[in-house]
Amino acid sequence: MIIDLFHTRVDDLSLAQRRECFYRRMLAVRLCEERLLDLFTQGLVRGTVHTCLGQEACAIGVTSALDLARDIVCSNHRGHGHYLGYSGDFTGLIAEILGLSQGVCHGVGGSQHLHLRNLYTNGILGGMPPIAVGMALAEKRLNTGAVACIFLGDGAMAEGSCYEALNLAALWHAPVLFAVEQNQYAQTTHWSSQHAGSLQDRAPAFGVPTTVIDGNDVEAVYQTAGRLLAQMRTEGGPQMLFMNTYRLGPHSKGDDLRPPEEIAANRAVEPLKRLEDILGRDWCAEQHRQIATALDKTVNMLASEIK
Amino acid sequence: MSTFLQSLQTGLSEALSDDERVILLGEDIVDPYGGAFKVTKGLSTRFPGRVLSTPISEAGFTGVAAGMAIRGLRPVVEVMFGDFLTLCTDQLVNHISKFSLMYDGVSVPMVIRTAMGGGRGYGATHSQSLEKMYMGIPGLQVVAASLAHDPAALIRKAIDDQNPVLFIENKQLYPQQIIDALDREVSVEMRLDDASYPVAIAKNGSFGIPDVTIIAYGGASRAILSLMRRMSREEINIKAVFPSLLSAMPTTIFRAEVDASAPILIAEEGSAGFNWGSEVASTLYEVLLPALRAPIRRLAAKASVIPCAAHLEDSVLLTEEKIEMAVLDLIA
């Protein structure tokens, strides 16, 4: 049921239908992340998990705009939403994090190291952008028409390799979408405490056009990503989609030192809440019930295998 | 007759010619410059669009090459000086070497060629032999050609390898002649190790048990082969074993080719301690004890910086004279 939800082509839908579809996709990601945190609390997850609570619109908006049959997705340590948006494979992700053989990487990868078809995540910040540029250049040289999308955050933008990647992408006209999730925090450090100057003004200095949007507005993310991707397919070259959002959860687990009032203020504008005002509380509650039931079934089945 | 440099040029040219997927990347590698050591000279002219000069972004272009390799190309990266590999290390350790081990169906068939070694007065940051730092990384092959190998064949083998390969070129080898079959003083036989990389077995005469067996690789072959020629005139029998794959031990070949009754010398140009020789010695002890007659002797550069001035540089690096003294000491 949940997988089918991710296999619908959203560009064929009306705005109202698409809104419902996006809501359900984002909700599925949110509920999956919450269940992963629960499993962690129960001691069933080894190592760590980094959840994307609050950033679901970035993951769903961008992956819904990609041509998943051929495009490439590169991602980072906070990649569950990207993985689910790309694949709809909840079982493969949850099993992977639980260390089970039916996990997408058979338990080798865990939360941070995922690969399926054309999706690749890795746990080193700033390590994947140059690789995404190389992948895009290979696709260009092999004439597949595919582009590469690399998700990165404000934290990774302090790594030098990001700028080497931006320079090379622009210099060699690589069709790469730099999808920046400005979630405000690198672990516990606010972005303004680790960056001088403006993040969104950096890529244009390399000749990489940058579009800044509200990353909590899933339709805006989808529309803008779609426009940039279309432009990349016809004109080539890189683009940056700079999405302002907020990480509602802790960096990983139990390491949240932010003022509660700041988090509360951001809860009022988070992506699901926004759509709830439009879609209606009752309809949303029903979706919540349906998806939670389906997810719980999957989670319980997988969790029982490790007990 | 061919120099080490000409042979490498030939190998790269053939690879570009035979395989459309091969692409070269590196700093200043296009014509007319053709790379700091001229290994790619002429190739950008012969293969337009397939030899790309990069910015001075070692981490960046190493990652770009990795992405290309994962998606179906066969990139060959030149890192101008091996000392600059430190800048590529995150890509090598945390990305390139890991992907095929972590992810089903993913391979990263790429080659990183780099010029290592001293002897040219370039000083502390342009003279090192840092390959020992990369030999203990699962998933990464470290390969070096010696003057007893066929560098053209070896670079082509590295390009065809499904695994990522760090290919070490000692910069003092570039102008040297590689050994050919007509050589009257040193004969070479080739054996293949378990990964099918060639191990060159060189002898400076016709003998059964040598007076000394020297085990070495890459750049050290220059001094060792020169010494073997001189010692053949003095009827000192030396057998030299030059593996080309450094990151795995050719245990079967050691067992077959290294005689426990003759003294063993391991020589390398990298700094002393925690090096290739440590692993070779350990492997040989496992293979040869208790038949081994004498402790294995190891030679390497001093664990220090490599100075610029010639006399100071010689005092730090492995030299023919130091190898000769060790050999004479072992047979005394």
What range defines the domain where residue A241 resides?
A: 17-302
Rg for chain A, CA atoms, rounded: 18
What does the pLDDT read at residue B88?
A: 98
What's the distance, Cα to Cα, between the start and end of chain B in Å?
A: 37
The predicted-structure confidence for B212-229, as pLDDT tens digits, reads as follows 999 999 999 999 999 999
Give the model's confidence band at A307: pLDDT under 50 very low, under 70 low, under 90 confident, else very high.
low
The residue among B27, B62, B100, B103 with the most chain A CBs within 10 A of its CB, best to mutate, is B103
Distance CA A105, CA A131 (A): 20
Within a domain: residue A10? Answer: no
CA B40 to chain centroid = 18
Task: Give residue B315's pLDDT.
Answer: 97
- Tell me: the pLDDT tens digits for A115-145? 999 999 999 999 999 999 999 999 999 999 9
Across the range A208-227, mean pLDDT stands at 98
Q: How confident is the model at residue A74 (pLDDT cuts 50, 70, 90)?
A: very high
Determine the Cα–Cα distance for residues B241 and A267; give it in Å rounded to an integer: 68
pLDDT tens digit sequence for B131-177 = 999 999 999 999 999 999 999 999 999 999 999 999 999 999 999 99
State whether A168 and B102 contact (CB < 8 Å). no
**CB-nearest partner of A161 from B59, B68, B98:** B59
d(CA B246, CA A227): 50
Residues of A in contact with B70 (CB under 8 A): 120, 131, 134-135, 138
In a domain, A166, yes or no: yes
Q: Do A161 and B63 lie within an 8 Å CB cutoff?
A: yes
Spatial neighbors of A251 by CB under 8 A, at least 6 apart, are: A50, A185, A187, A188
Element (DSSP H or E) covering residue B254: helix B251-257
Q: The CATH number of the domain where A88 resides is what?
A: 3.40.50.970
pLDDT of A275 over the 90 cut: yes
Residue A48 — φ and ψ, nearest 5°? -150, 165
- Closest by Cβ to A109, choosing from B64, B67, B102: B102
Say yes or no to pLDDT of A1 above 70.
no
- Fold that domain B187-331 belongs to in CATH: Rossmann fold (3.40.50)
Distance from CA of A127 to the nearest CA of B (A): 7
Residues of B in contact with A149 (CB under 8 A): none
Q: Chain A to chain B, count of Cβ pairs less than 8 Å apart?
A: 114
What ipTM does the predicted assembly reach?
0.96
**Shortest Cα distance, chain B CAs vs residue A110, angstroms:** 10
A201 within some domain? yes
- Residue A89's alpha-carbon distances to A17, A99, B101, B110, B307, in angstroms, are 22, 16, 22, 31, 58
Domain assignment present for residue A87? The answer is: yes
CB atoms A131 and B71 under 8 Å: no
Instruction: Supply the CATH classification number for the domain B4-170.
Output: 3.40.50.970
A133, A164, A168, A178: best to mutate for the B interface, most B CBs within 10 A: A164
A1 is a domain residue? no
Beta bridge pairs of residue B2? none
CA dist B305 to A42, A224, A239, B88, Å?
A: 53, 54, 45, 21
Contact flag B60-A120 (C-beta cutoff 8 Å) = no
Cβ contact, residue pair B61, A122, below 8 Å: no
Say if residues A243 and A181 touch (Cβ distance below 8 Å). yes
Domain assignment present for residue A6? The answer is no
Q: Where are the domains of chain B?
A: 4-170, 187-331
Q: Please give the backbone phi and psi of residue A52, each rounded to the nearest 5 degrees, phi first.
A: -110, 30
> What size, in residues, is chain B?
332
Place of tokens 């014509």: B31
Query: What Rg, from alpha-carbon coordinates, does chain B have?
Result: 19
Report CB contact under 8 Å: A130, B60: yes
The whole-angstrom separation of Cα B188 and Cα A47 is 52
Q: Which residues pair with B214 in a beta bridge?
A: B240, B265
Contact B90 A124 (CB under 8 A): yes
> Closest Cα to residue B102, out of A46, A290, A93, A122?
A122
A85: in domain: yes
Quote the minimal CA–CA distance from A160 to chain B in Å: 9
CB-nearest partner of B68 from A122, A134, A171: A134
Which residues of chain B have a CB within 8 Å of the CB of A142?
A: 71-73
Query: Torsion angle, CA of B113/A161/B103/A6, rounded to 10 degrees?
Result: -150
On chain A, the residues whose CB falls within 8 A of the CB of B63 are 127-131, 133-134, 161, 164-165
* Range in A39-48, A173-182, B133-142 the model is least confident about: A39-48
Q: What's the pLDDT band for A65 if we cut at 50, 70, 90? A: very high
* Residue spans of chain B under pLDDT 70: none
| Chain B residue nearest residue A146, CA to CA | B71
Work out the pLDDT band at A306, boundaries 50, 70, 90. confident
SS3 B219: coil
Residue A3 within any structural domain of the chain: no
pLDDT digits (tens, 9 = 90+) for A15-34: 999 999 999 999 999 999 99
Nearest to B144 by CA among B179, B169, B114, B165: B169
* High-pLDDT (> 90) share of chain B, %: 98
Cβ–Cβ gap A130/B52 under 8 Å: no
- Is residue B167 within 8 A of residue B156, CB to CB? The reply is no
CB contact under 8 A, B67 and A133: yes
**pTM confidence score:** 0.97
Distance from CA of B244 to the nearest CA of A (A): 29
Reported confidence tier of residue A206, pLDDT bands at 50, 70, 90: very high
Nearest residue to B63 via CA among B26, B85, B88, B39: B88
Q: Is the pLDDT of residue A4 over 90?
A: no
Instruction: Report pLDDT for B181.
Output: 83
pLDDT value at position B201?
A: 98
Do the domains spanning B4-170 and B187-331 agree at the CATH topology level? yes
Say which of A115, A134, A172 has its CB closest to residue B65: A134
What percent of chain A is modeled with pLDDT above 90? 93
pLDDT at position A2 over 80:
no
A65: closest CA among A211, A279, A273, A283? A211
Whole-angstrom Cα distance, residue A102 to residue A96?
A: 7
